Structure 1
Amino acid sequence: MKTALLSLLVVMFVSSFFLCTKTLAELKPGDPAPSFVTTDHDGKKVDLNELKGKWVVLYFYPKDDTPGCTIEAKEFTELYEEFLENNTLVYGISADTKESHCSFRDKYRLKVPLIPDEKHRLMSLYGVEVKNGVASRDTVIIDTSGNIARIYRHVKPAGHAREVLEFIKENSM
């Protein structure tokens, strides 16, 4: 009897955890974006709730200063002013340290704020796959109401920033 009761309690606990946790695969356009408060590489506060009224792009990438990640970061930088003109804030997120982000940003003169997520908190919140401490290359676009507008999974870095900008332009009208 005790074993059956204990088993039931364990099943209920585990089930409640999974029922309360949405992953990226479960998040879909129209869902409220999971809120968070963190800091970028410069120590500036980033509070998603304070960004309502703007489009927000969260692009998750594997590692600073690697070929694909550099291409993606440079393309978001090249289009940064155009994103701002379209009421859009862009944040790059990886598991790298603040110091690594600062070095990466300085080396390539990146304009996009980078968010260190060493403990994978944001990755977990948005269901981004992490293998060996490295995030998959996923992008989440959040609309001006704070809802998920689009999710891109396992993207190819070349041309992705332009694709994201075009999506925002098409959906801002």
Structure 2
Amino acid sequence: MIQVPIVVRPEWADRVAHLAGGVPLDPTESAQPVSRAHAGGLTLHARQKCGWIGVDLVALDDLRTDDAEALVSLTRPQVQPAALGIRSRHDLGLWWAATEAAVKAWQGGLPLLIGRFQIALMQSSGAFIRWKDKALPGLHLYPLAVRKGLVGILASDRAGGDVSIIAYPRHLS
């Protein structure tokens, strides 16, 4: 598990631009791939020297266990949540964060990627990807520790090494 520091809101936070398709562009290093997520009053900001990267953050209080079937049906209409390892609200948050992080890394949007991959959970509180389409670049999933009540996942091809992840308050106090 990767421990994510919560820092003072950076002065550049409001200058993050977005490219076509909503992909964020870090004003401090425009050549590096960036991914961002928002939940629980925080912004999770990750960048990598090169390659594919995506992050997602889920506030567990925003989920109900009966949301599982609806969320799973977005990616696999005929699959039951338990078949993917989803047995609790925490599992659902982990599964959804992994799904969103992979989609952000591939920059294709969920509708374009439905049926091309599936996230499943492991008993060790991790997640893995089942590929159905070999055209998608390989990704590794890493659980993130941010703070209690939040579940985060980093999806990365590790091609660039040098991954930087921080969390900061989403809005000025």
TM-score, normalised to structure 1, is: 0.27
Structure whose alpha-carbon radius of gyration is higher: 1
Q: Which has the higher strand share?
A: 2
